[in-house]
Amino acid sequence: MSAPNDIILFHYPFSPYARRITWYFTLRGIEYAQCVQSPVLPRPDLEALNVSYRRIPVLSIGRDIYCDTRLILRKLEERFPDGRLGATSGEQKAMERLLERWTVDAGVFWRAASLLPSNLPILNDPKFTKDRESFTGRSWDKKDMDRARPESVVHIRDAFELLETTLLADGRDWVLKTEKPTLADIEAIWPFDWLVELQALPPNVISEKQFPKVFAWINRFREALKSARASAPKPVTLKGPEAVNFINNAEFAEQAGRVDENDPLGLKPGAQVQVWPIDSGFSHKDQGQLVTLVPDEVTISKKTKEGKEIHLHAPRWGFRIVEATDGSSRL
Ligand SMILES: N[C@@H](CCC(=O)N[C@@H](CS)C(=O)NCC(=O)O)C(=O)O
């Protein structure tokens, strides 16, 4: 089985981060393959590829494997430039990037995750809650979650209020006042859409009544997705071994980059390094030879279980890179 455009998305459908990518594919009409993963570890397909990074989604293009939706979206914009969804003017680019930082980094997602209704079946599965405790370093005990919920409602209400009274206040359809949804809409909408879908919001505090513009925007976005889906190619679904086999036999999608000699970390090309995210999933570190180190990306070379070289890419923001020999486990 092959993967259209050499692309395989490793994800599970209820991952709100993964939706950032599946929505992007749908809105762009880009063909791809998916390899559905378990929501908890172990993930034998990624293990066979020797990917230690444990977060979802992961995207492969040929033998290049990309971690983190922020890098994945950037790479897709570069690889499929005709009809890109990204902003073009400086001001709009700033808005797009700040929205990404706001939802991914500045706590909107983490506050949203702590609003998951405690009667969700998955929250009653000790395998899941234990897995997420090790992932986030916080308690997923129902009592603790219930205690934290009111404060998170306050924060999420603040986020709804920001959208309602600033970006969407003038009645625009899309955040950059465009005809159609753009990348900036994806950057902004995903945790809000997720919360509405999960019915995780107390209606006396956050509903269409208090925030009509935000709810209308979410409905518009869902409609736009629905109509894009009608004409977009359906993803090809690969079984784990098919996906692994495809990658082992694929070409690299991009050439190795360069190691910036002025990089503040002072690492040399070919150095053995460890790379890992510092906000969640931090106990899973990838080790390999440094291939690329530029301001917004690090790439290391590793070998799959079958002995084929892969290039594993991560963004710089939110990731740590250290020489593998300097006692990095202390950091
Ligand atoms: N900054 C990362 C965050 C990804 C993330 O936290 N994904 C969640 C799923 S929505 C995850 O990996 N949870 C733990 C897991 O599935 O193993 C990104 O943008 O891709």
What does the domain layout of the chain look like in residue ranges?
90-228
Among residues 204, 244, 190, the alpha carbon closest in space to that of 23 is found at 190
- Ligand 1 centre to CA of 170 (Å) is 33
Q: Show the tokens assigned to 282.
A: 């931090």
Written as one letter, the residue type at 145 is M
What is the tens place of the pLDDT at every residue in 187-233?
999 999 999 999 999 999 999 999 999 999 999 999 999 999 999 99
- Regarding the beta carbon of 55 and ligand 1, being less than 6 Å apart is answered yes
Q: Please tell me the total number of residues recorded for the chain in this structure.
A: 331
Q: Show the tokens assigned to 210.
A: 């208090």
Residue-level pLDDT at 160 = 98
| Residues with Cβ within 8 Å of residue 259, at least 6 apart in sequence | 267, 268, 269, 290, 291, 292, 293
Q: What is the mean pLDDT of the chain?
A: 96
What is the tens place of the pLDDT at every residue in 301-316?
999 999 999 999 999 9
Closest atom, ligand 1, to C-alpha of 16? 10
The arrangement of secondary structure in 90-228, i.e. its CATH architecture, is Up-down Bundle (1.20)
Three-state secondary structure call for residue 245: helix
pLDDT bin (cut points 50, 70, 90) of residue 329 is: very low
- Helix (H) or strand (E) holding 79, with range, is helix 69-79
Residue-level pLDDT at 327 = 52
- Regarding the beta carbon of 66 and ligand 1, being less than 6 Å apart is answered no
Among residues 56, 68, 70, the alpha carbon closest in space to that of 14 is found at 56
- Regarding the beta carbon of 17 and ligand 1, being less than 6 Å apart is answered yes
Closest atom, ligand 1, to C-alpha of 43? 17
Q: What is the mean pLDDT of residues 254-268?
A: 96
pLDDT bin (cut points 50, 70, 90) of residue 156 is: very high
- Ligand 1 centre to CA of 75 (Å) is 18
- Nearest C-alpha to atom 10 of ligand 1 is from which residue? 15
- Inform me whether the pLDDT recorded for 330 exceeds 70: no
- Regarding the beta carbon of 48 and ligand 1, being less than 6 Å apart is answered no
What is the tens place of the pLDDT at every residue in 102-124?
999 878 999 999 999 888 888 99
Q: Which residues pair with 259 in a beta bridge?
A: 293
If one compares 120 and 43, the residue with the highest pLDDT of the two is: 43
Q: What percent of the chain has pLDDT over 90?
A: 92
- Regarding the beta carbon of 54 and ligand 1, being less than 6 Å apart is answered yes
- Inform me whether the pLDDT recorded for 326 exceeds 80: no
- Regarding the beta carbon of 69 and ligand 1, being less than 6 Å apart is answered yes
Residue-level pLDDT at 73 = 98
What is the tens place of the pLDDT at every residue in 60-103?
999 999 999 999 999 999 999 999 999 999 999 999 999 999 99
Q: What is the mean pLDDT of residues 267-291?
A: 97
